[in-house]
Chains A and B, each alone.
Chain A
Amino acid sequence: DIQMTQSPSSLSASVGDRVTITCQASQDISNSLNWYKQKPGKVPKLLIYDASNLEIGVPPRFSGSGSGTNFTFTISSLQPEDIATYYCLQYDNLPRTFGQGTKLEIK
């Protein structure tokens, strides 16, 4: 099974800051990676698919990059509504696997 190592597990930043989260796959997954945002009690929301493609309706301050085993998710200018937990998901192989999540808080 492919392991996804996501870091950091938590992050505190100020409004307007640039925020970066990483996911590392235990083997090559090409660009088969999604990034999700989840607020407490809510359904996960897809932000980025195929590692770098912005889902329709998602603000352009969100972006993703990477391929192979190393992936990065960036919020260019943190907004208060971005407070949530973020997850990566690899779908190159079954079983699919999520990263452990990054809880983002406002400083």
Chain B
Amino acid sequence: QVQLVQSGAEVKKPGASVKVSCKVSGYILIELSMHWVRQAPGKGLEWMGGFDPEDGETIYAQKFQGRVTMTEDKSTDTAYMELSSLRSEDTAVYYCATDPDYWGQGTLVTVSS
């Protein structure tokens, strides 16, 4: 059974960075295309970026370009999403999600001074 287990909740100050991890079990990470989605409190789902298997690159939503980095450690089947220059509007639950469709449990990131 495929499971995606994310790291725990984080509280960060404005201007800081956060790195969220997503550990895959029951599958090999290289056989999945990993994406990251976030959801601000009371708001809808927002796609942040993900792996494009057609060209082997990670594509970021324009809104996050320059602030987000998505990486993978194939030796541990763990994906990472790092978001920098945090502001209060980045307070959200961050999800990893794959093709085929599996989701992590979500990681709450709170940005507050």
Contacts and interface: CB of A to CB of B under 8 A. Distances in A.
**What does DSSP make chain B's interface, helix, strand, loop or mixed?**
strand
Given A94-B50, A95-B59, A95-B62, A43 B105 contact: yes
Nearest to B63: A95
Interface stretch (A18-26, A73-81, A97-105): A97-105
Interface string B80-91: 000000000000
Interface of B: 35, 37, 44-47, 49-50, 52, 59-62, 95, 99, 101, 103-106
B44 A94 contact: no
Nearest to B35: A96
Interface of A: 1, 34, 36, 38, 43-44, 46, 49, 55, 85, 87, 89, 91, 94-101
Contact of B46 (A34, A43, A91, A98): A98
B44 A95 contact: no
Contacts of B46: 98
Contacts of A36: 45
Given A87-B45, A95-B49, 9 more contacts: A43-B104, A44-B45, A44-B103, A55-B101, A85-B44, A87-B44, A94-B50, A96-B35, A96-B47
A94 B52 contact: yes
B45 A43 contact: no
A6 B100 CA distance: 24
Contact of B47 (A46, A49, A97): A97
A52 B6 CA distance: 30
Contact of B95 (A1, A43, A100): A43
A58 B55 CA distance: 33
B101 A100 contact: no
Contacts of B104: 43
Contacts of B105: 43
